[in-house]
Amino acid sequence: MVVPAPDLPARIRIHEVGARDGLQNEKSTVPTAVKAEFVRRLADAGLTTIEATSFVHPKWVPQLADAEELFPLVSGLPVALPVLVPNARGLDRALALGARRVAVFASATESFAKANLNRTVDESLAVFEPVVRRAKDEGAHVRGYVSMCFGDPWEGSVPLHQVVRVCAALRDMGCDELSLGDTIGVATPGHVLELLSSLNEQAVPTNVIGVHFHDTYGQALANTLAALQHGVTVVDASAGGLGGCPFAKSATGNLATEDLVWMLQGLGIDTGVDLGRLVATSVWMADQLGRPSPSRTVRALGRTPQPHKEQ
């Protein structure tokens, strides 16, 4: 049954991360052809922003070592295909293949900056500044990921001012969009609203913010709803609930795109996504990986998905 709630956006853009964030932590190498087919099926299901891969050094994320091979296989699709670029070399590789949307990945905490980037927070921002500047000069759209926005496995709760400082720095250097990452899944709705309000107070507007929740404590949908109530219209999610973070051992899976779409459909919020096709895609991908999808909606609808109709 579709029952709209007051003061929610009419439409949400889902930033699908399954093909990059979802697969990057897989221990067994996923064939390039399977990754390309995954992206194609996600596009066919109606997703319009699909993060394709990362131009990180293969030593750090071996699963994505095929970025140069994969990107040309999907670049002709009529969807936005962001790619992660960790540094100037990664940007060069992405631009050479025609990528028009790129992302940099910062941390709100010193511990995770050291574990993930082998730099301090300020050192990492200094590396990103010329990358963002050149990407903008080339006409690319730039997204800035900020990890550990709510909690850090080494430092515990993260002060709001640390997150706001990093977000403001990325915005000032030219990032078009920011994604707030709950990397270890410890956020709760009040914390989400407090951070969003703090960002607004420091001139970071809601319309440039996306949210990226992990479901470690089962709070991802509740946190997403809180963000929507604040006016956020971009939500990161991973088909089938795939993914985690290879540099934060306590990080479990991303918010499942199917679970998100089920909730949004029930609220009457448009996503443009065909839930049946999306579920079928995640069932297919789960077969490729040799294990069932952790998404509750995928499990509920199974191999014969039924549309979520108004009753």
Give the active site residues: 245
**N- to C-terminal Cα distance for the chain?**
5
Match 């990325």 to its residue by tokens: 170
Identify the burial level of 111 via C-beta atoms within 10 angstroms of its C-beta, where 0-12 means exposed, 13-18 middle and 19 or more buried.
middle
Please give the Cα distance from 237 to 227 (Å, whole number): 14
- What are the residues facing 142 on neighbouring strands? 102
Reduced to 3 states (helix: H, G, I; strand: E, B; else coil), residue 305 is coil
User: Is the distance from CB of 46 to CB of 272 less than 8 angstroms?
Assistant: yes
The neighbour count for residue 257, using CB atoms within 10 Å, is 35
What is the token pair recorded at 77?
């699709």
Please give the Cα distance from 272 to 171 (Å, whole number): 28
User: Is the distance from CB of 252 to CB of 155 less than 8 angstroms?
Assistant: no
What is the token pair recorded at 76?
């002709």
Please give the Cα distance from 108 to 160 (Å, whole number): 9
Please give the Cα distance from 196 to 184 (Å, whole number): 18
